[in-house]
């Protein structure tokens, strides 16, 4: 029984990384910009966060540094694709490759560093309930913040005026422009917000999840987060659920192995991507579904006045 | 409208595929020049000039699997390279390429190394075997050295360390330190080398504690810290309290540290990564072999073959044993180490049972290297099956 509680706890922890990055990418994709640079931004943020944690000893400053690093990289990307109208996919790829190289370069002196012992977290009283306590209430605060953030983002997108404008920019930048909204500025802000959240996710990996720095340590989580936004058909709540699902698959695979169950772990590793392709096929087959789910201008450049 | 959107979806998918491919192909390259010949002591210059290698140093290249900063497998190889440079000085000039994938890219890297005039090339991972064999066939004048493999050619030979001896000694410590009688291993890829290490770890633990159970998870990669973390976490959640890893980073040790459990360093001394969790480190010392190989090439005595060094040759050691390990347990490790050194002790000596109950080694029979090289079974006490084993 306890094992399952711990499995659940590990799933929440694994899903949180994907959820933070996925929600960030959702924001910029809702504004019509695809940023394939997630992996690179997360790597740079991971070393920025780790270095900050080593120097200051504060996890929260580390998350801040990660967010800043992610936002700066996304800002550079934003200027390129929004004002100079470079191809979003190619630029995003370049950002990703740049990020993995750059993080390895600046991180070279931090590979031998290590952080002080990580504190344990537990919510008083709730953490002591049998089964539910160890499963749900002994997590890093970021796990709960992520859930709260998902709710806040849902409210923002669907209930606030600013969220409506953001979605309008993603659906039809021409209309938003005609109404007098600064489309490019809004897109830049969305892209930077996305970068900042990817940055927090990157810092969470290097400071909390695997408290160390080594080159390439994000190891594909950025790509999974990108797949996740599509899998979730651009809805915040589904991003969170999808993140737990993908995180759960990873943990379950190890859990089953530990129990001696013969299951191909390679097969389970493919599942998130297979699921994403299945969702893409499903929504792409139906014109109504694709219109109701996917931001209509996603990936397309916008030329004001054209 | 619809068609264009659909097309953009396709385009997104295509670009993403490209992106993943590009990310996998990325590998970085660094060069390090040997100390300049003119920097050597002026008084000795005449003697140096007389040596045949003084004018043209032997160019040696290393292909590494991970980054030099992995703190484990590749870090140990790079220490070996540095020891080689220190020992032979201006006689050699070494370069390395890190993060070389175990794919067709490796062949490109090896061909590149040959083109740059290297005449002794080390490939430090199992997966480089086929690419190296291909390049070796085309470049008869170049000596190739492949770590941990089994195929050779006239100009390609194999070297390895008996890492299982380190695993066995770690097992002795683990067997004495576990409170749950359950210990765990985070495995990388189910090849004989790794399976042999898991088995030896188990045999070591059972030598001091017959009730030991061993749980194994596979991450199917040599180097992926988050996955190693997840694997280690699931072992701890499943009740294992002393972990060993046959992967290349320090993530497992750090996960044990975070959870208040014990673990070992692997390939390199990892004390610093988890001072409380760290019980000992099983280290690879590649320097002596690299020096020997370079001398063979310089002196023209290089011949093909297999080299498998262990504790006896100073290539494997269990170091930095924690103060938490009681003195009598330490003494047991020392006894094993001494026995391996003088040849009086064999780890793989029958009777040994596999975990499906078969007797794989009869009483008093000592396994030869052929047997050890083909181990594809778990010994009794390990839970589960070797992946791919029907």
The string of pLDDT tens digits covering residues B162-207 is 999 999 999 999 999 999 999 999 999 888 889 999 999 999 999 9
Q: Which are the contacts of A122, defined by CB distance < 8 A and separation ≥ 6? A: A133, A137, A138
The answer to whether the CB atoms of A254 and B239 lie below 8 A apart is: no
The answer to whether the CB atoms of B215 and A258 lie below 8 A apart is: yes
The answer to whether the CB atoms of B5 and A290 lie below 8 A apart is: yes
Residue B46 has pLDDT above 70, yes or no: no
The answer to whether the CB atoms of B384 and A264 lie below 8 A apart is: no
B216 CB within 8 Å of a chain A CB: yes
Mean pLDDT, range B212-226, rounded to an integer: 89
Q: Shortest Cα distance from B165 to chain A (angstroms)?
A: 24
A292 CB within 8 Å of a chain B CB: no
Domains and CATH numbers, chain B: 52-161+286-309 (3.40.50.2300), 163-276+315-373 (3.40.50.2300)
Residue A224 to residue A275: CA distance in whole angstroms: 11
How would DSSP label each residue in B264-293? EEEES--GGG-TTTEEEEEEE--HHHHHHH
A89 CB within 8 Å of a chain B CB: yes
Mean pLDDT, range B276-286, rounded to an integer: 95
pLDDT of residue A236: 95
Name the maximum alpha-carbon separation found in chain B. 82
Residue B68 to residue B70: CA distance in whole angstroms: 6
**With contacts defined as CB-CB under 8 Å, which chain A residues touch B26?**
97, 100-101
pLDDT of residue B47: 40
Within the 59-78 window of chain A, which residues sit less than 8 Å (CB to CB) from chain B? none
- For chain B, how many residues are written? 390
Lowest mean pLDDT, pick from A149-153, B33-37, B324-328: B33-37
Q: Which are the contacts of B138, defined by CB distance < 8 A and separation ≥ 6? A: none
pLDDT along chain A (306 residues), means of 10: 81 93 96 95 96 93 97 97 94 96 88 74 82 84 95 96 95 93 96 97 92 85 90 92 89 79 72 79 80 86 78
Q: Which two tokens stand for residue A17?
A: 């990384």
How would DSSP label each residue in B31-80? E-PPPPGGGS-GGGHHHHHHSTTSSSPEEEEEE-SS-GGGSSHHHHHHHH
pTM metric for this prediction: 0.78
Determine the CATH number of domain A2-293: 1.10.3470
Residue B335 has pLDDT above 60, yes or no: yes
Of A97, A209, A255, the CB nearest to B22: A97
B274 CB within 8 Å of a chain A CB: yes
pLDDT of residue A274: 82
Of B9, B224, B250, the CB nearest to A212: B250
CA nearest to A107, candidates B228, B94, B255, B225: B225
A302 CB within 8 Å of a chain B CB: no
The per-residue pLDDT for range B90-141, each reduced to its tens digit, is 999 999 998 898 888 899 999 999 999 999 999 999 899 999 999 999 999 9
Helices A183-204 and A38-56 sit at what angle, rounded to 10 degrees? 60
The answer to whether the CB atoms of A101 and B26 lie below 8 A apart is: yes
Residue A76 to residue A83: CA distance in whole angstroms: 11
pLDDT of residue A37: 95
pLDDT of residue B280: 96
Within 10 Å of residue A241's Cβ, how many Cβ atoms?
A: 17
pLDDT of residue B13: 52
Q: Which two tokens stand for residue B216?
A: 């194994």
A53 CB within 8 Å of a chain B CB: no
Mean pLDDT, range B348-376, rounded to an integer: 91
pLDDT of residue B55: 61
Within the 40-69 window of chain B, which residues sit less than 8 Å (CB to CB) from chain A? 66-67, 69
Of B19, B26, B237, the CB nearest to A10: B237
The more confidently predicted of residues B77 and A286 is B77
B312 CB within 8 Å of a chain A CB: no
Residue B25 has pLDDT above 80, yes or no: no
B34 band by pLDDT with thresholds 50, 70 and 90:
very low
What are the φ/ψ torsions at residue B308 (nearest 5 degrees)? -135, 95
Q: Shortest Cα distance from B61 to chain A (angstroms)?
A: 21
Mean pLDDT, range B302-330, rounded to an integer: 94
Q: Which two tokens stand for residue A161?
A: 């005026």
The more confidently predicted of residues B311 and B51 is B311
The answer to whether the CB atoms of B71 and A205 lie below 8 A apart is: no
**With contacts defined as CB-CB under 8 Å, which chain B residues touch A111?**
67, 69-71
Q: Shortest Cα distance from B34 to chain A (angstroms)?
A: 21
What percent of chain B shows pLDDT beyond 90?
A: 67
Q: Shortest Cα distance from B345 to chain A (angstroms)?
A: 32
**With contacts defined as CB-CB under 8 Å, which chain A residues touch B236?**
6
pLDDT of residue B324: 95
| Domain ranges across chain A | 2-293
């Amino acid at each position: 029984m306890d094992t399952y509680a711990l499995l659940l706890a590990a799933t929440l922890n694994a899903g949180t990384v994907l959820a933070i990055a996925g929600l960030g990418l959702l924001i910029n994709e809702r504004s019509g910009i695809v940023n394939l640079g997630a992996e690179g931004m997360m790597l740079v943020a991971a070393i920025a966060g780790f270095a900050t944690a080593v120097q200051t000893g504060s996890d929260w400053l580390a998350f801040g540094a990660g967010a800043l690093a992610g936002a700066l990289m996304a800002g550079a990307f934003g200027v390129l694709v929004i004002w100079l109208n470079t191809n979003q996919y190619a630029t995003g790829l370049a950002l990703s490759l740049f990020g993995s190289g750059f993080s390895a370069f600046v991180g070279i002196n931090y590979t031998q560093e290590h952080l002080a012992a990580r504190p344990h977290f537990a919510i008083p009283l709730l953490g002591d309930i049998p089964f539910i306590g160890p499963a749900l209430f002994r997590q890093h605060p970021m796990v709960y913040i992520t859930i709260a953030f998902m709710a806040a983002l849902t409210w923002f997108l669907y209930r606030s005026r600013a969220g409506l404008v953001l979605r309008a920019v993603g659906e039809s930048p021409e209309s938003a422009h005609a109404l007098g909204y600064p489309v490019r500025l809004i897109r830049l802000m969305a892209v930077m917000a996305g970068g900042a959240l990817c940055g927090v996710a990157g810092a969470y990996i290097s400071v909390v999840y695997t408290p160390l720095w080594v080159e390439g340590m994000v190891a594909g989580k950025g790509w999974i987060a990108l797949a996740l936004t599509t899998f979730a058909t651009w809805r915040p709540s589904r991003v969170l659920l999808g993140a737990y699902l993908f995180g759960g698959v990873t943990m379950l695979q190890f859990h089953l192995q530990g129990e001696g169950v013969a299951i191909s772990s390679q097969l389970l590793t493919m599942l998130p991507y297979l699921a994403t392709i299945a969702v893409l096929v499903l929504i792409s087959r139906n014109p109504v579904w694709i219109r109701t789910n996917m931001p209509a201008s996603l990936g397309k450049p916008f030329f004001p006045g054209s | 409208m619809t068609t264009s959107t659909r097309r953009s979806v396709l385009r997104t998918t295509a670009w993403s595929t490209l992106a993943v491919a590009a990310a996998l192909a990325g590998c970085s390259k660094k060069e390090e020049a040997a100390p300049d010949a003119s920097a050597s002591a002026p008084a000795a210059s005449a003697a140096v000039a007389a040596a045949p290698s003084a004018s043209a140093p032997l160019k040696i290249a290393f292909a590494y699997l991970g980054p030099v900063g992995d703190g484990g497998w590749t870090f140990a190889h790079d220490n070996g390279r540095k020891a080689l440079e220190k020992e032979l000085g201006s006689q050699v000039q070494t370069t390395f390429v890190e993060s070389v994938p175990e794919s067709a890219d490796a062949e490109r890297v090896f061909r590149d190394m040959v083109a740059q005039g290297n005449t002794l090339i080390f490939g430090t991972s199992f997966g480089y075997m086929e690419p190296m064999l291909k390049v070796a066939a085309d470049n008869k004048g170049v000596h190739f050295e492949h770590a941990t493999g089994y195929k050779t050619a006239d100009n390609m030979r194999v070297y390895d360390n008996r890492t299982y001896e380190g695993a066995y000694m770690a097992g002795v410590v683990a067997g004495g330190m576990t409170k749950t009688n359950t210990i765990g291993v985070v495995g990388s890829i189910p090849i004989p080398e790794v399976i042999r290490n898991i088995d030896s770890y188990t045999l070591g633990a059972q030598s001091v504690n017959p009730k030991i159970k061993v749980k194994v998870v596979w991450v199917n990669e040599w180097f992926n810290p988050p996955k190693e973390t997840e694997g280690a976490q699931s072992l701890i959640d499943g009740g294992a309290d002393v972990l060993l890893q046959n992967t290349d980073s320090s993530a497992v040790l750090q996960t044990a540290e975070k959870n208040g459990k014990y673990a070992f360093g692997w390939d390199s001394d990892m004390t610093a990564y988890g001072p409380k969790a760290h019980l000992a480190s099983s280290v690879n010392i590649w320097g002596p072999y690299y020096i020997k190989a370079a001398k063979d090439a310089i002196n023209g005595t290089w011949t093909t073959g297999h080299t498998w060094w262990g504790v006896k040759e100073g290539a494997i050691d269990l170091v930095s044993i924690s103060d938490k390990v009681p003195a009598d347990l330490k003494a047991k490790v020392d006894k094993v180490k001494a026995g391996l050194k003088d040849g009086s002790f064999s780890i793989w000596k029958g009777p040994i049972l596999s975990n499906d109950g078969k007797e794989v080694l009869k009483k008093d029979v000592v396994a030869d290297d052929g047997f050890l090289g083909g181990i594809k079974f778990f010994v009794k006490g390990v839970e589960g099956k070797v992946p791919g084993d029907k």
